[in-house]
Amino acid sequence: MKKIILDCDPGQDDAVALALAMAAKDEFKLLGVTTVAGNVPLKLTQRNARIMCEICHRPDVKVYAGADKPIVQELVTAEHVHGKSGLDGIDIYEPNHPLEEKHAVDFIIEACLTADDNSIFLIPTGPLTNIGLAMKREPAILPKIKEIVLMGGALKEAGNITPSAEFNIYVDPEAAQIVLKCGRPIVMMSLDVTHQVLTTKKRVDAIRNLGSIVGQQIASLIEFFERYDEEKYHIDGAPLHDPCTVAFLLKPDLFSLKEVNVEVETSGKFTRGATVVDYWGVTDRAPNVKWAYAVNDEGFFKLLNEYLIKL
């Protein structure tokens, strides 16, 4: 059973990643859900994570609030994609599910320090502020981390928040650089691969017809979320970014990976937050990331439905 910490900024696609992780009770020991400012401000991302714990009937899952702004720059949010609540598409309410007192960064540090070496999987699906702060404050957590499977970055896909940068990396490039330099195994689910898993009408209908209330709610979340990208890219469906991370840990052979060096641009006037990927090894920079470049999209949605039906 994998010990995981899911660090997120719900966001509808984070919500689907949370649902997938919470459905996989036999595969994951979900040590905690940590939340960060990103798609919407922290007070909403932590509330949305707690709503998802109630929707997925997981009163046991502990939710922590973390950083309310990036390490250096001011917060940039994405209500234009996710709506004002961050979870537009379903009825929003104040959940009873408690918010833990402890700060998310303190939780990440304590959970790692008390764990065995090479035992913790970190799954960041938002800006990397919490993870970067934990690593900077307590480097002793690094040997405890077995793998980081994050959603972020872009190479062959253009940026989605600026012409050259993907949102999660763009919001906190300094935190992203700390994580990319940490020396632990990293798998990056960038836009290059998430744009291959599109929420087509047929696939959303299949989720809605799973026969559970959760399926209907997930379908409604996706239908709100996808409208922005459908209009922008003129396609059927939107890239379902964040669940690619959890799906990788459940069924890695769905994805094709390539070991590459990835740096983050932190000073470019037009390119701040861009992931500079040495895809063809033209520099002497050592590989630090397994970059996902292809995915079996049918297999991804089959896996998603196999687990969502358990909720």
Residue 229 interaction partner, one of ligand RIB, Ca ion, none, beta carbon < 5-8 Å per kind: none
What is the x/- site pattern for ligand RIB, positions 238-277, by CB under 6 A?
Answer: ---xx-----------------------------------
Choose, by CB under 6 A, the member of 77, 85, 125, 196 that binds ligand RIB: 125
In SS3 terms, 157-224 reads as CCCCCCCCCCHHHHHCHHHHHHHHCCCCCEEEECHHHHCCCECCHHHHHHHHCCCCHHHHHHHHHHHH
Site string for Ca ion, 11-40 (x = CB under 5 A): x--x--------------------------
Using rule CB under 6 A, residue 47 touches ligand RIB: no
195 flagged as catalytic:
no
The answer to whether residue 159 forms part of the interface with ligand RIB (CB under 6 A) is no
46 binds Ca ion (CB under 5 A): no
186 — phi, psi (to 5°)? -125, 135
| Nearest distance in Å: CB 90, ligand RIB | 16
Contact string 228-257 vs Ca ion (x = CB under 5 A):
--------------x---------------
166 binds ligand RIB (CB under 6 A): yes
CA–CA separation, 152 and 131 (whole Å) = 13
| Whole-angstrom distance, CA of residue 186 vs CA of residue 218 | 28
State the distance between the two ends of the chain, measured CA to CA, in whole angstroms.
19
Q: Which is nearer to Ca ion, 126 or 239 (CB)?
A: 126
Neighbour count for residue 262 (Cβ, 10 Å): 24
Residue 251's SS3 state is: coil
- DSSP E strand stretches across 76-136: 120-124
From the centroid of its chain, how far is CA 180?
16
Query: Would you tell me which residues interact with ligand RIB (CB under 6 A)?
Result: 9, 11, 13-14, 38-39, 125-126, 151, 160, 166-168, 241-242
